[in-house]
Every structure is written in structure tokens, then in C-alpha cells.
Structure 1
């Protein structure tokens, strides 16, 4: 459990306090205990009588979060910026001394405080920058989210797949996801879908059925498997994010719908109104009373005869509700068939048969007439229905039944059936589902009784793009969805919400939902809307509108940054794109939306068509979103992380690279309050390019993050080495001679020394990236520290000194990811020049190991050496050295000289001569290979190679 944060006394001042991280999952009971501890700390403080202290705990998993304390009277109100549950009275903010310079701001102006002091948009520009100039960090960047699925994820019995349900597959990967550093896992829609167990869930039917009630699994799994995956995530301190669909629903039972009938027959008249989709209604004519055996002449036409609707193909299909007659196949109409109204023939129809028809203009007649004969044996005389379907096959039109002439079989006179007897039905009755919950009827869908006359069925909010379109403004709709969402949070145990298709319903619905949840004590940590649009102004406007509609002080809403994703796609796949545009593309940089209101991504399930996924080196896009802490919560796509092949996308397994950058972010970037894009358009930072160019690279610097470090990131999109002396921004304590350490192992230079002109040498291979951090110097003279691979996977570690004074011990540390180091070996210093050696013969886990030397002085201070990297092969125990190399590469662990393949990061293969050095070592000649990063492969044996420039 996290420690209680007692308010700090500092009247009239700003105080920052570094918070510690805990991976203890925050259960409901644990959260309550923690809140009690917080309240007790306030209540027992000596200044509690002066005013009420409000302290809310941040999430249990936050690392190094900075808390902002604002003094008012004798009470300090810490606003822990990493927490989504921050509030403080507006009067406390306005009374703060810093606010004296803003007399126009009163408590009435401040809507609520959340993360930082968050005013209404009208004063955002005035309040935000001056008050928190140095505290505007991207607090949410500490979190990382995995989209834990893809469009056609594996479902047992579907698309040729036979195996475990996806929920179980994902549950088996929870430990790996936690080890990688993910804090959220976004799950696919979990509710029972109208298209059955092979659906991915975006056609929700029974909201409360997560794979139970005797109906078997959903596409995701059974309820038991859902409970297992969420329990496993929570046990490792992660949270499940539910994909929730509030825009539409499908699969209800048929019910009479007078609102749809009124819209089609009365209110639809063109003039901007759109026709009601023909695949979502059927017509019902009661049989057994006034209507029975006989011939029905059913007349169909376009209501408006607009050019956009005529010549549209549809299928005329009649059947009897009680019929067990099998399907009679499909036939084509015979034109002209306008019938008696047009002086033309009609077509004969039969029950349970499709007639493919088109409303052609024959001599000014836009009518199809079908004669259907029903015998007494075809229906139940005690009560039955003639059902007529008019589904379009290639785009909706405004065709409808405008007349039915009935000739009774007993020879009595025929007559026109009043259209008032023709009933329209929709599949919108959700009142008798197996779960018994989440009931709705046609009044919850568009059009309903209240809006049939006014809706146009057009625009972002009213269009029936997906299934049956929900009317969120109906009070019963809000109640149903509010209750369901609360159930997901409390009963199912999810911790976040990914809201589907928020572009298509009012933001006010989200506002009232968050208020309702807050009233029940539920404030999900992750609430993100999917507004599928690349216009940054629309994306920001949605966040602003939800914010204005939300009265609770604990709600935070985010939006997916499609604008940035579009730029990253161009950066990777368009060789003529100027990379510096990326710096202006994020919602933070384009329209000023704070990073904690955004969620960034590189690929997702919606980009699945030909050419839509990023085709070339998606890792470069991930490098940007994972190392820029200002732009939002990074999201990683499951196929990109695990190497799952999907259509139209390259198969890449980026788990090691992504995990490494997440570790870098946690250890060195999180909390950085400032970022400077060094090679931006109009930069005042000079650069000397030896190779590469500013238009094909991204270079930026962050300061003051975890460990108060300087971090420089360089991403090279060019197909040539990026070698540039880049001027850095000034930083306290950083001057000429400062050493920067490269962390990823990608760069040609493992260290770089800052010149007196504040220029740092950046040396990055083609289509690669590097992260340089400021490194501390050792307090002794270290002549050498080397890591040499030997036979059978053994690594020899040597270091030698020429000066040792006041040293307590040497500590060799090792890591599999370059950032989470642990003890390997301890040595007692000789306190004189000496040489030390240690052999690491542990089994290999990954294909790379990192080593560093920690020195401890007698006074307790510590210093770290540069990191040494050794590449090996965990399956075949290969080890390559020297690596990087500009000519000959020695590979130990094999004597095979045939079958090797050398492949560059862009997929190109290169020839490299291989010869045997001995029975267990080969030499690979890379002299004619361009500088860059390569994979050397033979069967299951793989080793990563860096060819450095000469």
C-alpha cells in the first residue's frame, strides 16, 4: 500500500514532492482504507481547523509523480498531478498569492480542478501557462496501454481457427505485459453480439451477457474467462479497459414501430432528410381477420423519385410469420412491371422467394408491382402475419410500399387495403434478453415518437451508419447505459472505458455518464473516446465539450490522437514527407490540448485495409510516442508487440524494442516538465550534418524528468546514417565535457561528449533511433570496462583501474532490458591500481544483455559506469563481437559457414562472406555492407548486428 501523503506546511508557497511507486493493485477495499488514511492525516494535522484539507490518492502504480501543493490560510491542498482524482476548493486557488496577478479570475470562473487547475475554456489561456509554467508535464505518459486484440482476433470455430478463446490467450500473456510495463490493457467489446460468437462485438445485443446464461461463449470468451483475465490484470497492478458501445445496438426482437412508419410514410420528403435504411425494418400485414386467402398486388415506388434513389437494386421477399416453408431461392424481376397504375404488367411473386428488382423509369413510371397469391393452407387463420422485406443491395433508397390491392379468394370484390393497417416493425425490442437487464425498445432509437417529425437521419449524430442508432437524450437510455457502465466497473472489475464512435452522439451524454458514475463513487482512471477524424480542432472540441458537460470534479476524458497517427503514417511510408511536420501534428502541439487528454497510437484495428497500416518500420512511430512524454498516453497494437500476422500489414515483433523504450521512459523521461524540438521548423539550435538531414529526422530534448536528467532522442527516418553535431538547449549543470550515454544500443556511438558549443554528436543508423542521457563520471580512474562473449554463452567481464581512493566496493550489475538492473557480482577494491574479472555463465533469456559497474564510496555515494551490451542467441547460444563493427564480425557458438542470411531493418538482404575461424566460431565480413542495423540469421539462430561507418 502507498504511504499516506500528509499535507506539507508551506504557507503561500509552491512545494513539489517526489512520490514513490507501488505495484500493489488498488482494490476497492484497499482504496477505501487508503482514503481513510488520507483523511485521518488531514484531520490530525495542527492546521486542520483553519480550513478543510482535501487529499485524494493517485493510482497505486504511479512512478515518480510530482505533487503540487498550494497553500491557503494555514491549509495546504496537495494536487497530485498524476492522479485523476484531484480536487480542491476554487477559493483555495484564487486565494493563492500567485493568483493576485489575475484579478479577473474568481471562484465562479473555475469549473473544477483536475490534474492541474483546470478552468473553463474561456480562461484557460489566462490561467494555465503563468500558474503552472514549470509543472505542465504529461502526467499520463507514465501509463502505457496495450490494445489487446485486433479486428479478426482468433475465435474458436471461426475463420478456420480452433483453439482457446481470446480471453484465455490474453490471460496467459499478462505476466509478460506487466514485465514490459503496461498499465492498461484494452479489451475488445465483451457483450453478446447479434452476429454470434464469431463477431468482434461491435454489434452489441445483450449488454450484460459476457458469455453465460447457457448461450456459451461470446467472441471474446466465457464469463469465467473474462473474470480470469481481469483478475490476472488486477493482480499484477494493471487495469482492463472495456470497449463500450453507446452509439448503436443490434439483434433485438421485432416490434411494431409507429415512429418508423411515420417517418417513412409522412415525414421523409427529401429536402436533406435521409431515407430510413431498408435492411432495418419489415412490413407486417395481419392475416386471419379482414385479410386472408387471395391475391395481393403490392406496389412499390420511390417516394421522391430523386435521381440518387432511382435505379437502386433491392430484394422483394414475402413470407408468412408461421411458415415453415424453406427458402425458394432468388429470381430477377421482369421489366416493365409497373402494374395497373402505369398500364404495365406485374410480376408474379411467391412466398419465401427473393425477387431482385430495380426501380427503373419506364415511360415515367417508377413502380414495381408484385402479385402474391396466398392460400388458406399458407397461414394460421386464428392469427398470422404476412411479412414483407425490401432490403437494398447496393445503397439505400427511399422505396416503400405505397399501395396494396387485395382480391379475396372467395370471389368477393377486391379493394385497396388502408395503409394504416400496414405495420412497420424494427428489431429493437431488447426487453426479454437472457440476462434480464439492459432493456430497451424503439423509443430508445432514432426515429422515435418524439423526434420522428424533426430528425433528418443525417449528420454525425443522427445518421444511421451503424445498426440501430441510439437516442442518447432519452432519459431511459441514459439510465440503461449508466447502470451498465457502473456494473462493468463494480461487478466485472474493469478500470477504464474506451468509448466507441463518440463522433456520432452528443458529448453531453458522456458528461452525464461521468457525473452519474462519480455520484456512485466510480471514477475510472482511463476514459478515452474514439472520434475517427484527423481534424485536431474537432478532436479538441470534443474533449472541451465533454469537460463543459461534466460537473463532477473527478472526471478526466481523453481522445485518441488520429491527427498524430496520420502524420506518423506519412513519416514512415511517404519518402517525400518532411518529418518536422510531426512536431506540429499532435493534439498538444497542434491545438494545445494537454497531453493527459490524449491517447497516442501507431496502428489499430480500424486501419486494416490495403495500405492503411504503417508499412515501413512502424517502430519509428512507436519510438516517438514512447519517448515524448508531453503528447499523451501511448498505446501499442497487439500484432506489433507480439508479431501476430494480420492482413495488409507487415509482420513485426517489436516487443523487445517497445519494452526497452517503456523502461527508458519510466527511468529517465517520466515527469520531464519541458521538451524542445531541436530540429523543428524555425529552430534557433544550430546543427552540423555530416550525413542525414533535418527533414528526415526528429531530434528533441527533455529536461528535469525522473532523476532530473537530460534526455536527447533522435529518430532517423532516412535510408542513410544520421550523423549530426546537434546544439542542445542550455541546462543547469550541463556544459562542455559532459558525457551522454546512449541507452538503446542502436547508435554507432555508445557515448557522446558535449562540446563547449553545446553540440552533441548524434550517430544513428538508417531507419533507427537512439536515446542519449546525461551520464555521471566515476570518482576513480577506470582504464577499461569490457564485456567479451566466450564459448557456450559465457560472458567475460573485465575492468581495470589506475586510481582507487576511498572506495567501499565494486558492484557488477546486469539487465535483460537495459534499465531494470540487478546484482550480478560484488568485489572488494584493492585501493590501488588493479584488474578485476568475472565470468557470467548464466543461461541466456533474451538475445541481449546489459552490464554496468557501480562503485560505492566510503561516504555512501555511488557512481555508474557506461553500459556494456552483449548480443547473444538464447536458442543457439551465439555471441557476436565486436558489435558494432566496421569490418569483421566474429560469431561464437557455431562453426556453420552456410545458410546465413543478413537482413537490414527495411527487409533488404545483403551478401556477406562467412568463413570458419575454428569449430565453434565463424567470421563474417561486413566490409562491403552499408552502415546500419542488421539481423544475422540461420534457421532459429539469430543475432543482431550493427555495422558502423568507417
Structure 2
């Protein structure tokens, strides 16, 4: 959720918110002294949380050995006017062609601020722009028909669609007398236009179930997940929010907003009853906390530990911190990595950060504005292709200093893996490294280096990286 773009009203609490290959036979002892290898023992991760395509026609996503990537299909304050679903739908074929296997959409249901809301102030979970309430029929993003057309088009491209789910708090209820507070509270949702999941004061804290749960947000009515009625409507009933999104609207997975506000058991129960991919927004750089939550929620989690380490590494000139612990090192199956999102965009030197997450383990996310507006799309597509086709196997960190970082993906199931070399210095750098390959020619798949070296019989080879950039090496095949 956007943490800084809300205006709260008394009535509504609304959101506005290159040298050829002659060097490879250099003295073996010299080059082994140059490279200090450090191996990170992390679990092998070669799939992604969506099915592998098989023999589909051009224009449809097909998962490669390294899987695919996730596109965050929005940013904060996308244009108003109800055309966002059409904007995203029109980009799906190009995204699919580029190797993007899933898209994460903003909260899709009607919210307190109607046609102006980014959706993080939900009122009626079953109104996808088809009921006239909160001042509009359509949401900021468009109509239900347009949303359904987007999802249908994504599935035709073999892509998955993830819904942003906001179940910590609600907004847009009417005032009612609340015996648990002794005041009036904005907790009467009996008049929601869909007629589904009507709520009253006992469905929010404080109430007969207690005074509070793990956390409230911004003064909004705090949904009480301890109430069996709330549980039933969120994930239990055949027409519960989760099952309706999955079975009727055809969403494939979930991004849970502000999971600090309720226990991980909530997401665990949703996943057990509804299914689908899930990832939680636990805004915390402590990897122990991230791992604890992911395990207890039976869910992936955004790797904020990696996010802040990348900022320190690439913006503050200390690549040594990439040796530190991160969620993808703890459990890559449950780590969703990212460089920016709609809430936070602190990394300025983004291309090496994308080179990092698209060559390492975890499930990498591309931010819409980085891809469509701000960065070099051709370079990003190159990294996505490398990720999907070469980024396999466990990870070994081969060398780090302040300005240089070299790591190896060790390959898996016949796929050769890769070596990534990130150079934060202002000049070309070269290093001898131990690869996965004996007496074979390799190349830099980014095209940044013109070298085509042949590895020695013991798998060692010299590679290079350009200033303030990166190179990614694998078998020349």
C-alpha cells in the first residue's frame, strides 16, 4: 500500500494517495590467487510459481529453464478515467513475447474514493466497476467487462494474473452506534451494492473478539479476522472473496497488502481454502522476520532484505554487502525480488540491480514504469531472456569487493547456468573465475564484452565487465 499519499476526511477516510581469447592460458597460480571464491549454499530454484508452457504458438509466454518473471502492471496514481485495464491488456502480447509470465494488478474492486481511488480503501469486494456506488460505476481502472477481457487475454498469452488483496482494513462504511467504543464508527457496510459480505461494527476491532489484532492502518476500520463470519466471507464460502476472485473472475494468485496488520495464519487459511500463488507485502528488512512470516503464512514474501542491500550496494558503492543474508538465500521458492514498486523507489542505479535479481534465485519482479517509461527496454528484455534461459541452479558468490561482484549460477538438469559480473567502478575490470564448464567457449550474452574465451580444463577462465555496468557469461550455444 502507498504509505504517503492519503488524505483522510472526517466522513470517508479516503485515499488520494571487450582482447580476444589469448588470455585464458595465463598463469594458473596467479589467477587462482586473484579470485577468492565464496559459495552460498542455497536451495536449488529453477521453476517459478506458474506452469511451464509447452509448444505454444509465437506470441504466447513459454516458461524456459529459468522460469519467467512478474510484471507489476501499475504504479501509484495511474491515469484516471477508467482506461487502465485496456492499457494493460494492449501490452500483454509484447510482455509475453519478452518472457514475462505473470502480471500483478492493482486492487480491482470498488473503493471509498470511487473513480479516483487506487483501490487500497476497499468498500465492496464484489464491485469490479459494475455497480453505481461511491460516486461512479467504473473504478479508476475501468469496468468489470474490461477487467475480465484483460484476464482472458492474459490467459490466452499463457500468462497468470495476480490480484492485489486488501483485507486489513475497509473504508466507505456508514456511521453507526458502536457499543464497543461508546461512539459512532464508520463500520456499517450493510448497504454495499453487491449485497455480498455485508459488515457491521462487530466485524471490526474493537468488538466482542477483542480490542485489536497485530496492527491497524491509518485510522481505517480494522477488519476482525478472528470473527468466523469474516473468515467465511473472505475464504470459506463458495462465494467468498477469495473463491469468487479465483473461480469467477479467474485470478491466479494474490499479492496481500499490509500483512503486518494481521497474523500470518490469515494468509495461510486463505491459501489452504482458495489456492493459487501468493506473496505478502511484509515491509521489513529483517530476513528472520521475512522467513518467519513466509513459513507461517505458507506464502512467498517480497524480499525487502535484498531490496535494501541492493540500494546500499549499487547506490552507495559497497558491493560487499551482497554477501549479506537475504530472503532468496534462505528460501528462493518463497522470495519475490524487486527493484522498485508503487510504494518505494529508493534505488537510483537500477540496471545493475535488475542484472542482479534477473540472474539470481528468487522470483523477480519488473516495475511497470521502469520497463515502459524510465529504463532501456531492450536491455531489460535481454536480462529477462537471460533469466528465463540461463539462470538455473544454486548460486555461488565467486568474488566481491567494494566495486566488483561476481557470482555463478551452477546450472540444473542439463542447463549450463551462468556467471554474472557486476562492475561499479569507472573502468573496465577483469577477473579469473571458476566456471561450470571445462574446455568450452563462452560469451557475454549482454553483448557488453566482445570476448569469446575458452575455459581451461579445470574450468577457470578470465572474464571482464565494462565500467558501471555488467556482463553475463554462459556457453556459446
TM-score for both structures, normalised by structure 1: 0.42
1:586 aligned to which of 301, 308, 326 = 326
- For residues 546-571 of structure 1, give each alpha carbon's deviation from its aligned partner in whole angstroms, at most 9, with x where no partner exists: 24xxxxxxxxx100000000011112
- For residues 869-913 of structure 1, give each alpha carbon's deviation from its aligned partner in whole angstroms, at most 9, with x where no partner exists: xxxxxxxxxxxxxxxxxxxxxxxxxxxxxxxxxxxxxxxxxxxxx
What is aligned with 1:642? Answer: 372
Q: Which of 1 and 2 has higher RCO (CA within 8 Å, sep 6+)?
A: 2
How far residue 529 of structure 1 moved from its aligned partner, in angstroms, is: 0.5
Matched pairs, number: 417
What is aligned with 1:505? Answer: 262
| Distance in 2 between residues matched to 1:510 and 1:20, nearest whole Å | 25
What is aligned with 1:486? Answer: 243
Q: Does 1:700 align with 2:433?
A: no
In 1, are the aligned partners of 2:76 and 2:118 still within 8 Å (CA)?
Answer: yes
What is aligned with 1:545? Answer: 296
Q: Does 1:248 align with 2:165?
A: no
Matches within 5 A, 1:33-432: 62-64=63-65, 142-156=67-81, 165-214=83-132, 215-261=136-182, 424-432=183-191
What is aligned with 2:423? Answer: 716
* Structure 2 CA distance for partners of 1:145 and 1:752, relative to 1, 3 Å: same
Q: Does 1:605 align with 2:325?
A: no
What is aligned with 1:536? Answer: 287
Q: Does 1:769 align with 2:477?
A: no
How far residue 765 of structure 1 moved from its aligned partner, in angstroms, is: 1.3
How far residue 677 of structure 1 moved from its aligned partner, in angstroms, is: 0.7
2:384 aligned to which of 641, 659, 662 = 662
How far residue 761 of structure 1 moved from its aligned partner, in angstroms, is: 2.1
| Distance in 2 between residues matched to 1:469 and 1:184, nearest whole Å | 31
In 2, are the aligned partners of 1:667 and 1:706 still within 8 Å (CA)?
Answer: no
How far residue 63 of structure 1 moved from its aligned partner, in angstroms, is: 3.9
* Structure 2 CA distance for partners of 1:23 and 1:438, relative to 1, 3 Å: farther
What is aligned with 1:298? Answer: none
How far residue 466 of structure 1 moved from its aligned partner, in angstroms, is: 5.0
- For residues 410-453 of structure 1, give each alpha carbon's deviation from its aligned partner in whole angstroms, at most 9, with x where no partner exists: xxxxxxxxxxxxxx2111111111111121111111101332xx
**Structure 1: tracts of 5 or more residues without a match:** 1-18, 26-59, 65-140, 157-163, 262-423, 518-522, 548-556, 644-651, 681-693, 776-863, 865-950
Q: Secondary structure at the match of 1:753?
A: coil
TM-score for both structures, normalised by structure 2: 0.83
In 2, are the aligned partners of 1:716 and 1:767 still within 8 Å (CA)?
Answer: yes
| Distance in 1 between residues matched to 2:174 and 2:368, nearest whole Å | 36
**Structure 2: tracts of 5 or more residues without a match:** 1-50
Q: Secondary structure at the match of 1:478?
A: helix
- Structure (1/2) with the larger strand percentage: 1
Q: Secondary structure at the match of 1:201?
A: coil
1:728 aligned to which of 420, 434, 437 = 434
- For residues 667-723 of structure 1, give each alpha carbon's deviation from its aligned partner in whole angstroms, at most 9, with x where no partner exists: 222xx333211015xxxxxxxxxxxxx321221112333643152111112222222
In 2, are the aligned partners of 1:697 and 1:717 still within 8 Å (CA)?
Answer: yes
| Distance in 2 between residues matched to 1:635 and 1:740, nearest whole Å | 28
What is aligned with 2:375? Answer: 653
* Structure 2 CA distance for partners of 1:710 and 1:210, relative to 1, 3 Å: closer
| Distance in 2 between residues matched to 1:763 and 1:665, nearest whole Å | 20
Q: Does 1:22 align with 2:54?
A: yes
**RMSD of aligned alpha carbons:** 2.1
What is aligned with 1:563? Answer: 305
In 2, are the aligned partners of 1:227 and 1:492 still within 8 Å (CA)?
Answer: yes
| Distance in 2 between residues matched to 1:20 and 1:200, nearest whole Å | 32
- For residues 512-557 of structure 1, give each alpha carbon's deviation from its aligned partner in whole angstroms, at most 9, with x where no partner exists: 222222xxxxx21x2001001111111111112224xxxxxxxxx1
* Structure 2 CA distance for partners of 1:213 and 1:476, relative to 1, 3 Å: same
Q: Secondary structure at the match of 1:440?
A: coil
In 2, are the aligned partners of 1:719 and 1:767 still within 8 Å (CA)?
Answer: yes
- Structure (1/2) with the larger helix percentage: 2
What is aligned with 2:35? Answer: none
